[in-house]
Structure 1
């Protein structure tokens, strides 16, 4: 009896190949992989220690645009060591980046002002998924959510995997923007971030979106 065939393991360069095809180039996968390897992009990931078995609650997948927004904070520093924060907001349905607010300080009042700005373009969501940071647990924020009929889905403390969509997004933003440049000022951070968001929303395909970009998936919603 023959052994069942194992599923093919995609090479890391396959993501680049899909994106290059989206841009209209006809190079085959072997050529893309050779260039990918020649540029030393095929770095091996560090292995991690195996963690104890957990039983997390399944992450719900919204069935419509605007149903659930995930949001989180990140931090970095400018060339002169002044620290800044970013407030990242995505739509869970199609992984679209709705916006990234950048500032030295982003308290609750600034958070709700920014969410009001996003709502002018996208409407208010039915619920938002956040951690238990002080900006999200303050009465200012909870009163704002209540006034707009928004349910706050708090993840459990120390369980970032319960907010997996934004955590996965944060890793991409960290690797491709924050860790790639030395910023002299916030204007540079904003400019590079806005350019990157356009590429992320309109050119980057997602396996979970049937190899479509967030913008394309929005069109078929």
Structure 2
């Protein structure tokens, strides 16, 4: 897909293909078929039982016939970038030296587009592997403003998504994430600080703080990802892109009085019903 001998730079080729620059140079370690099967099942169980930690997930998997230890499940969960969604003390572990910002959304009325944006990362299973999906979401309208996929959990694909959202949609008042190392990295913070965006961070596992983007992950997985078996990263990107276009432009939301995220974001009225 990427041709190092081409006249076009590797970075430019990556941008045109919609993949993170860091992924181009990453040499993935092979994942066994058994672990891939486990990871795909863990992902579905996590969607169904987001409060389940490694101990409970092991019990659920054993009930289904898997022979696996709790520590191995915990290792796979870490690789997938997921953890049980419940508030617990001292669980957020950003990279050493990274600054943590306070949570700014507690009891804050969110009443308009571009007041608060949120960002998160999720695991996306494929037929023979997996990728990660990062998305920037407008909190009030649920509109996906930008997204990227990557084969690594490095920060650069998150930075690219944020830069695209800022370029296309202006500057939010507040940007909220968890305390993951991607979001506390110096390069990520610089992008927001340059625009004088207020940075808000919740703790990992604080499900109330991430509820809207968790609903997005649930929708995209049950309505798109779990119905497919992507054969390649490019196929996954195309399928996700089609779904997110549908999500923004055609999928009605009860929380938006039946409007789509695009209608709510651009303050468009509901279309009039066509008489039978």
TM-score (structure 1 length as normaliser): 0.68
Q: Which residue of 2 aligns with 1:162?
A: 209
The counterpart of 2:110, out of the listed 39, 53, 62, is 62
Q: Which residue of 2 aligns with 1:180?
A: 227
> What's the CA shift for 1:76?
2.5
> SS at the partner of 2:123?
strand
CA contact (8 A) 1:155 1:162 kept: yes
> SS at the partner of 1:72?
strand
Taking a change above 3 Å as real, the CA distance of residues 219 and 144 of structure 1, as seen in their structure-2 partners, is: closer
Q: Deviations over 1:14-62 (max 9, x none)?
A: xxxxxxxxxxxxxxxxxxxxxxxxxxxxxxxx8999xxxx9xx856452
Map 1:55-204; keep pairs closer than 5 Å.
60-81=108-129, 83-204=130-251
Taking a change above 3 Å as real, the CA distance of residues 152 and 184 of structure 1, as seen in their structure-2 partners, is: same
> SS at the partner of 2:224?
helix
Taking a change above 3 Å as real, the CA distance of residues 182 and 115 of structure 1, as seen in their structure-2 partners, is: same
CA contact (8 A) 1:66 1:125 kept: yes
- Number of equivalent positions: 169
Alpha-carbon distance between aligned partners in 2 of 1:59 and 1:180, rounded to the nearest angstrom? 38
Alpha-carbon distance between aligned partners in 1 of 2:223 and 2:241, rounded to the nearest angstrom? 13
> SS at the partner of 1:85?
strand
Runs of 4+ in 1 over 6 A off after TM superposition: 46-49
Q: Deviations over 1:133-161 (max 9, x none)?
A: 11011222223322221122111232122
Alpha-carbon distance between aligned partners in 2 of 1:210 and 1:161, rounded to the nearest angstrom? 22
